[in-house]
Structure 1
């Protein structure tokens, strides 16, 4: 039997080949199919990741791979379309297939901590390939809420908040996710996005995933990144002629039938045939991404996807949302919510995946004055269409100013009357300085809150809710307000955080000494930037049938309209090259009380849930108010409190300008 001898040279080469063999390719799509499983509790599509349901994400997952040379991947998206799933696949797949240090940045450290506890920890435990690498209890202390390390030491994930410069310093990460990027705000050290980007500068082949639903433009981070990249859109074939085209919202919107939202569809831009809901699954599976700027692909690939492509929302539902928005309420909801959002902006951001563009500039005050004198109603008389009333009260050092606003269908508002309570008229014969801490001023405010107003039906109308400025003299304001039911008077304060909700309740906060300060159920913050942006958009509307139209009484005075348009949203670029947007007075020292009171009165309206009332609610209110009063004669209180003309006011030096208005978020109707 012959003896078989192995070639030493060949054997050496085979052993060497085994040792230096390249690692298996990093394929996030295939990894997701075998490792990502959706639970029935959290997803309508329980089971393993199914490429058939989200075919538009396959190319984004390929862009994450080292085989794609791009350094930055941006996804501008609708809400609840799957962007978080992509971020999870990128994160977990990297830790499993190509371990190294990974950075995951949220808007705030609170967001980061909550995500780590509620999302990341369950994902690590439920993913079979990662559970042994990230045990729930680590003996060597290599795991915490915001930092988790593989047991073999080959990789780790650092979870940070964009509001914390410390969490973005002294670390170098090859891969990172910048989540909810549009919500990131300037931190004490400057621009957090630039800080996060710099954490990957040491790696030539780094990957940065920027993922977010947009907010307001100009100034939207995710929109800026999308425009800087390839600007890829998902094109699908017409089911009739096979012509490739994106699903544009305008294509659907322009032919919607309000009587039949279930017929919502797109129309082929080539053959004109209808692309219907039942075609969606088939055409989306055959879709492709097409870049506007393919030459940018080696550095930055950017994608935009919106709800019409995904399986989570029907086209009928999108149409109904649009019609509800046009009727003045979002999704048919009319309940008061703790963090009520602005309906127009929510639709554009969350459904269309688009930033809402605003100019931040009002129409000339002279135009508003002329419109009021030509088309306005009688001052002090509540118009028929004003079905709810709110008061906005602004507190100054030597006076208190008030503004009465009526609210109607389709978010219409009516500026009915205004006035000033000061040391001269608070209580005739009793001298005072006009400050809210003084008894004569408080007594005058009591009468104002209890006052009723004549309407065009001959009835007397009470104010439904009063919102008073609680920013500067908080204790004095709350001291006065505490003598009235919380259902009649609330204290409010404007803040400049662009990403804040329209309004939210503040029960407890710390004072300058770090001690808790309790406010109870009466104190609310509101997003001053957002409300100003919305108001300026509504002021530009000259058709009373348009959503958000603002009607004015005659005789409000030139100074009222000057104050109403006293500010403009401007962007200023810092040394780091990042532009920050804020509201500034058009003229230094200009008064802006009317603008502030508009915000306060609108916050009272939001607290009442006016913007979420259904048509049947308005019908019931209108029916009740249209019944004539048994005795329409003016009472003694009305005679004593007859509308008094607003005074020109004190010199600018005596008023304290609002100091909390900065960035903005927006919306329009």
Structure 2
């Protein structure tokens, strides 16, 4: 009644026009509307719904700029929406390249800032990564989406700390244990966790520290773990396997409707063709009806796909895991995946990257299963001291000891096909010289093969090695194992011998781990082209040397690395080192350039 009386009083004032009163009424209505919008609770929606309404991908930040559409990457919907599910405390996501993993993490951040403002922590592997992420990804999102206007305080923010109304986003690295240990935050996203150091100083590992920081927020805490996998012992694979329930995305066959995950084994192509051909002649085969699935089928298959659990869970799960590979990516064709494999398959380092980044699977080195039996299985029908008919050159490797020399001689052919033809021990430099100068017979008995180059380990009796190699320049080459991982398999280095009158030698530093990886991968191939083989008469003692080491995981420079170490039960490994040096010698004479021999009777 009081408000009506006041309005009538205003209307009775002759000096106030009716038009002015209407202006005041409209202004009061607008102020009330703004106040209501300011304090009304946010509309309940999922993360994917929020992203579809509000997320804008600026030009230059993606190959598909404009409004975000979860329908384009429908497999990300359940992962993002799990972030807003109050019953879920931990999400582990194994991602492959080009699957929108980081963009989805940004959607979780944006959703929190706009819908559920609170404290939020985002952890990256190192400082360079987090600064790049803050400047080029996160801050770009906050300034390009209208929903953050009036909420994101750009003036009060900096690279590692973004202030918004109702909370903040702290960005830090896994190398900062003090920062991880001092914060109490309910929402934590940890990106690329397989690149984190295993230990942060004297503190617990970064993931355990993050879990400790969020446990003070029961009913609110949310931990998201995202990464491309590395090893089975890596952080993301362990988190995925420890999830209460693990999901794989299944899609329907366009021909029979059978639901199935996209698997590498069903990508069909001719492995004998080069990558340039494979890329355009690859298809996917249904595991049920064996129908041919083309790239144009993929969008509809993804749209109709579902996350299906791999295991059973009693009760309500709190930890859930998701895993996906690049075959699902709408940006990548079946042929591109196959072509990448063709380019990577002959190099263990490249193959590991393919397994991790493209297939989204942890790398399991075959050397972990290497035993004497598998080594002896690589023996061919060609006897000892005989050069196979496919051979085109011989190289050798020498491991120097106090009173004797271990040596091995290996035949090489096209596509790195190789076979050991002889091995043994020499008691003197003169005896070693006579062995390396010897002519070896082919399968027809003709003595026409001689070692073209051999590498001699200079880690022991160094000056003697330099002198010997100086006297056999162009054939005998000094080498030394690297004490740390290298980018390339080997590199040259000039050394100055201590003996007067001896000219400087060109020493080759060799990454023995890389060579041993390649040898083991080729040892597990079937006998034939491209395989690493032994002669028919190879003895058990030689296989014992080759299996004297195994791959182990060690922490170096704050990071987990795989490396070769001698087994505690092993006695000798000298011929294993000789094989590495023989491989190095083959590389130095450009073994990779060898062509297939013409067939008999051909031109």
TM-score normalised by structure 2 residue count: 0.71
- How far off its partner does 1:280 sit? 0.8
Structure 1 distance, partners of 2:283, 2:378, is: 40
Please list, as runs of the form range in 1=range in 2, the aligned pairs for 1:453-492 lying within 5 A after superposition.
456=442, 463=452, 466=455, 468=457, 491-492=480-481
Distance 1:522 1:169, change over 3 A: farther
Match of 2:30 in 1: none
Do 2:57 and 2:66's aligned partners in 1 also have CA atoms closer than 8 Å? yes
- State how far apart, in whole Å, the 2-side matches of 1:26 and 1:396 are: 72
The residue number in structure 1 matching 2:10 is none
Mapped partners of 1:298, 1:481: distance in 2: 66
In the alignment, does 2:575 pair up with 1:594?
Answer: yes
**What whole-Å deviation, never above 9, does each CA across 1:379-406 have from its counterpart, x for those lacking one?**
3x55343456555454556655444444
Q: Is the 8 A contact 1:29 1:61 kept in 2?
A: yes
Once residues 178 and 212 of structure 1 are traced to their aligned partners in structure 2, the CA distance between those partners, rounded to angstroms, is 8
How far the C-alpha of 1:310 sits from its partner, in A, is 0.9
C-alpha offsets along residues 48-75 of structure 1, whole Å, 9 cap, x if unaligned?
Answer: 433233121122111222x342122122
Q: Which position in structure 2 is the counterpart of 1:425?
A: 428
Q: Is the 8 A contact 1:70 1:300 kept in 2?
A: yes
Task: Select 1:194's aligned residue among 199, 208, 225.
Answer: 208
Deviations 1:566-613 (Å, cap 9, x if unpaired)?
2345799xxxxxx99986655536112223344455566678886xx5
Rounded to whole Å, the distance in 1 between the matches of 2:439 and 2:578 is 19
**Aligned position for 1:103:** 122
Pair 1:303-2:315 in alignment: no
CA distance in 2, matches of 1:87, 1:406: 53
Give deviations 1:438-490, integer Å, cap 9, x for gaps.
Answer: xxxxxx7xx699968757486556646748476x8999989998997999655
C-alpha distance in 2, partners of 1:479/1:199? 62
Question: What CA RMSD, in Å, does the superposition of the two structures yield over aligned residues?
Answer: 5.0
Of 165, 174, 178, the match for 2:186: 174
Q: Which residue of 2 aligns with 1:156?
A: 169
Question: Distance between the aligned counterparts of 1:469 and 1:197, measured in 2?
Answer: 50
Paired position in structure 1 for 2:247 = 232
Pair 1:61-2:80 in alignment: yes
- After superposition, the Cα gap between the structure-2 partners of 1:368 and 1:330, relative to the gap in structure 1 and judged at 3 Å, is closer
User: Cα gap change, 1:394/1:280 in structure 2, threshold over 3 Å: closer, same or farther?
Assistant: same
Cα distance in 1 for partners of 2:120, 2:134 equals: 16
Judged with a 3 Å threshold, the aligned counterparts in structure 2 of structure 1 residues 476 and 287 are, in CA distance, closer, same or farther, namely: farther
Q: Any residues of structure 2 matched to 1:400-411 within 5 Å, and which? A: 401-411=406-416
- In the alignment, the residues of structure 2 paired with residue 184 and residue 349 of structure 1 have an alpha-carbon distance, to the nearest angstrom, of 16
Gap change, CA 1:227 and 1:410, over 3 Å in 2 = farther
Q: Which residue of 519, 524, 535 maps to 1:553? A: 535
Deviation (angstroms), 1:365: 3.3
Q: Return closer, same or farther for 1:154/1:131 CA change in 2, 3 Å cut-off.
A: same
The whole-number CA distance in structure 2 between the counterparts of 1:44 and 1:448 is: 64
Q: Structure 1 residues 170-179 or 579-588, which shifts more?
A: 579-588
Aligned-residue offset at 1:268: 4.1
Structure-2 separation of matches of 1:304 and 1:524: 37
Matched, 1:126 2:136: no
Among residues 9, 34, 37, which one is paired with 2:57 in the alignment?
37
Look at both structures and tell me which one has the larger radius of gyration over its CA atoms: 2
Distance 1:389 1:165, change over 3 A: farther
Q: Give the TM-score normalised by structure 1.
A: 0.65
How far apart are residue 425 of structure 1 and its match?
0.7
2:292 counterpart of 1:274: yes
Change (3 A) 1:563 1:74: same
Pairwise CA distance, 1:311: 1.8
Instruction: Work out which of the residue numbers 230, 238, 243 in structure 2 matches 1:215.
Output: 230
**CA separation of 1:404/1:31 partners in 2, compared to 1, >3 Å: closer, same or farther?**
farther
- What is the aligned partner in structure 2 of residue 378 from structure 1? 384
- Corresponding residue for 2:359? 352
- The answer (yes or no) to whether the contact 2:396–2:451 under 8 Å persists in 1 is no
CA pair 206-252 structure 1, distance change in 2 beyond 3 A: same
In structure 2, relative to structure 1, the CA distance for the partners of 1:238 and 1:152 (3 Å cut) is: closer
- 1:74 is aligned, of 74, 89, 92, to 92
Q: Which position in structure 2 is the counterpart of 1:435?
A: none
Higher-RCO chain (CA-CA 8 Å, sequence separation at least 6): 1
CA–CA distance in 1 between the matches of 2:207 and 2:439? 52
Deviation of 1:353 (Å):
1.8
* Distance in 1 of aligned mates of 2:230 and 2:588: 23
Which residue of the partner structure matches residue 547 of structure 2?
565
SS in structure 1 of the partner of residue 541 of structure 2: helix
Aligned residues: 540
User: 1:544 matched to which residue of 2?
Assistant: 527
Q: Deviations over 1:243-286 (max 9, x none)?
A: 43322333334x86867854533444555543322111122122
Describe the superposition over 1:317-366 as per-residue Cα deviations: whole angstroms up to 9, x where unpaired: 333445x3xxxx538xx9xxxxx653443433333222244564556537
Q: 2:35, 2:462 → 1: CA distance?
A: 76
Structure 1 residues 490 and 268 mapped into 2: Cα distance closer, same or farther (>3 Å)?
Answer: same
Query: What is the CA–CA distance in structure 2 between the aligned matches of 1:56 and 1:376, rounded to whole Å?
Result: 53
Q: Output aligned runs, 1:229-268, within 5 Å.
A: 229=243, 230-253=245-268, 261=278, 262=280, 264-268=282-286
